[in-house]
Amino acid sequence: MKYANSNNQTGLPTTLLPWMMWVLTLSFFAFQFILRLFPGLMMPQIMQQFSIDATAFGFLSAMYYFGYAGMQIPVAILLDRYGPRLVVSACALVCGLSTLIFLYTNNWLIALLGRFLIGASSAAGFLGTSKIVSMYFPRNTYARMIGYTFSFGLLGALYGGKPVNYLIEQWGWQSVLLGIACVAVCIACAVFLFGKNEKISSPTNESFSFNSLFQLFKKPGLLWLAFANLLMVGSLEGFADVWGVTYLMKAYSLTKGDAAGAVSFIFVGMLFGGPLLAYLSSKISSFYVISLSGLGMAGLFAVMLYLPNFINGYILCMLFFVVGVLCCYQVIVFAVGTDMVTPALAGITVAFLNSINMLGGSFFHTLIGSLLDLCWAGGMENGCRLYEVETYTYALLSIPATAALGAFIVGTLKMSEQRKA
């Protein structure tokens, strides 16, 4: 694909415009990780502010993923029609305003709405950056640029852990969240002012459509793959995103900063996991790579949950690093899914799989919160429920159990494919 001509409203040289657009949209993709992880750092304060239990907190966290998953395909359609400049800037602005709504309300329903809108607007982060890559960079660089996008985007997840917790300790969570909202508005203004006003062509065969989506429901193998993927995301979207910090503080007697730093190693592992698992999938079946990743995550989580007295901080970080590597099985899921459909359905298939993948966050946050309340021993502290280490252990066992089930489903799909062959 050719770059845009030199007569653009930014005044930038032609060769710099693609990189400017990529950096602007990438900044929003990285930024949304901070908002995604923020509730996990402020669990007691949020529960106290709204007088809620773990079930309600899990549902609050899940609202982000409901919004993110639900907007995957609509945002993809909007990007096709209006271009990244308008869509990404609008979504970044909504993200900032929704953060302010969440910050300044004491109404539970409005807080849920704010969290939902944050997730819905965050959907433009990765999709917008992918659209920029496909529009402005040569096709033979697409895979490499998407790899760069994931690597730099995950830096937002790293900064969203211990560094943000340090800022919270210094300035208070309200001030930090206000600053985060201002950053979102600044990103929106930068994308709108410095981005190129794209002239979108008429829809092509690669454009997203709901008619194409309905065709996916006629492929049971793809649906089972999506369901297995949902069951296996607990390590990332259930533990790393929200519940991990509080659990490590209780089970491993870590400070909040150290617990957030340890969890961040999951995201460090993901920086290396994509290329490594992609290489393994070229040597053995992709189905086997996905299944082994699920079983590996299940085993490592079982060790973490049942052997806290035998694991020090360094071993814990190494364990989470390996978990992060295995979490990149999702990249292989996208590849397997697109192999199941015609080339014309590849784009909508990735959006569908990513949407179901993000629904996994809603599933695990709701499930873990409900299990915490189900196993609650009755303790209270500062007007909020106090959950013991054993209670967390029972609730978090859902992560390795479902990961093993997902691995079994993928293995069954492999056997079905062999029988068809």
- Is 167 inside a domain boundary? yes
Confidence of residue 100 (pLDDT cuts 50, 70, 90): very high
Residues 47 and 141 in one domain: yes
State residue 126's pLDDT score: 84
Is residue 105 scored above 60 in pLDDT? yes
- Is 1 inside a domain boundary? no
Distance CA 262, CA 248 (A): 9
Is residue 326 scored above 60 in pLDDT? yes
pLDDT tens track for 217-232 = 888 888 999 999 999 9
| CA end-to-end span of the chain | 37
Instruction: Give residue for tokens 């966050």.
Output: 361
Q: 193, 218, 247: which is the final residue of a domain? A: 193
Residues 155 and 36 in one domain: yes
Residue 398, both tokens? 């859902």
For the ranges 141-145, 195-199, 254-258, the one whose mean pLDDT is highest = 254-258
Task: Return the CA Rg of the chain.
Answer: 21
3-state secondary structure of 52: coil
Beta bridge partners of 385: 380
Torsion of CA 251, 252, 255, 261, to 10 degrees: -110
Q: Are 73 and 208 in contact (CB under 8 A)?
A: yes
Torsion of CA 28, 133, 329, 222, to 10 degrees: 110
Residues 232 and 148 in one domain: no
The number of beta carbons lying within 10 Å of the beta carbon of residue 409 is: 18
Is residue 34 scored above 60 in pLDDT? yes
Distance CA 195, CA 152 (A): 20
pLDDT tens track for 336-367 = 887 888 777 766 787 788 888 888 888 898 89
Looking at residue 113, which CATH number applies to its domain? 1.20.1250.20
Q: Containing H/E element for 219?
A: none
State residue 3's pLDDT score: 42
Residues 258 and 145 in one domain: no
Residues 391 and 418 in one domain: yes
Q: Are 330 and 229 in contact (CB under 8 A)?
A: yes
If you average pLDDT over every residue of the chain, what do you get?
83
- Is 204 inside a domain boundary? no
- Is 92 inside a domain boundary? yes
State residue 90's pLDDT score: 94
State residue 369's pLDDT score: 87
Instruction: Give residue for tokens 């969203």.
Output: 160
Confidence of residue 10 (pLDDT cuts 50, 70, 90): very low
State residue 226's pLDDT score: 92
Torsion of CA 221, 224, 226, 229, to 10 degrees: -120
- Is 271 inside a domain boundary? yes
Residue 27, both tokens? 């900044």
- Is 200 inside a domain boundary? no
State residue 416's pLDDT score: 65
Q: 165, 193, 221: which is the final residue of a domain? A: 193
Mind giving me the DSSP string for 316-352?
Answer: HHHHHHHHHHHHTHHHHHHHHHHHTS-GGGHHHHHHH
Mean pLDDT for 398-418 is 86
Residues 188 and 215 in one domain: no
Is residue 82 scored above 80 in pLDDT? yes
Q: Are 149 and 133 in contact (CB under 8 A)?
A: yes
**How many Cα atoms within 13 Å fall on the side-chain side of residue 223?**
8
Residue length of the chain? 421
Confidence of residue 198 (pLDDT cuts 50, 70, 90): low
Residues 152 and 244 in one domain: no
Residues 232 and 381 in one domain: yes
Is residue 13 scored above 70 in pLDDT? no
Range of the domain at 259: 210-421
Residues 166 and 301 in one domain: no
Q: 166, 193, 220: which is the final residue of a domain? A: 193
Helix locations, 172-285, DSSP H: 173-194, 210-216, 220-231, 244-251, 256-283
Distance CA 59, CA 55 (A): 6
Number of domains in the chain: 2
State residue 314's pLDDT score: 87
pLDDT tens track for 106-129 = 898 999 999 999 999 998 888 888
Residue 13, both tokens? 């040289």
Residues 140 and 54 in one domain: yes
Residues 95 and 120 in one domain: yes
Distance CA 264, CA 248 (A): 12
158-172, 207-221, 268-282, 298-312: the lowest-pLDDT one: 207-221
- Is 66 inside a domain boundary? yes
State residue 402's pLDDT score: 95
pTM over 0.85: no
Confidence of residue 204 (pLDDT cuts 50, 70, 90): very low
256 Cβ contact list (under 8 Å, min separation 6): 41, 165, 169, 245, 249
3-state secondary structure of 71: coil
Residue 115, both tokens? 């969290």
Nearest alpha carbon to residue 341 among 236, 251, 184, 221: 221
Q: Containing H/E element for 381?
A: strand 380-381
Mean pLDDT for 26-32 is 90
State residue 174's pLDDT score: 86
- Is 398 inside a domain boundary? yes
Residues 183 and 308 in one domain: no
Distance CA 174, CA 4 (A): 42
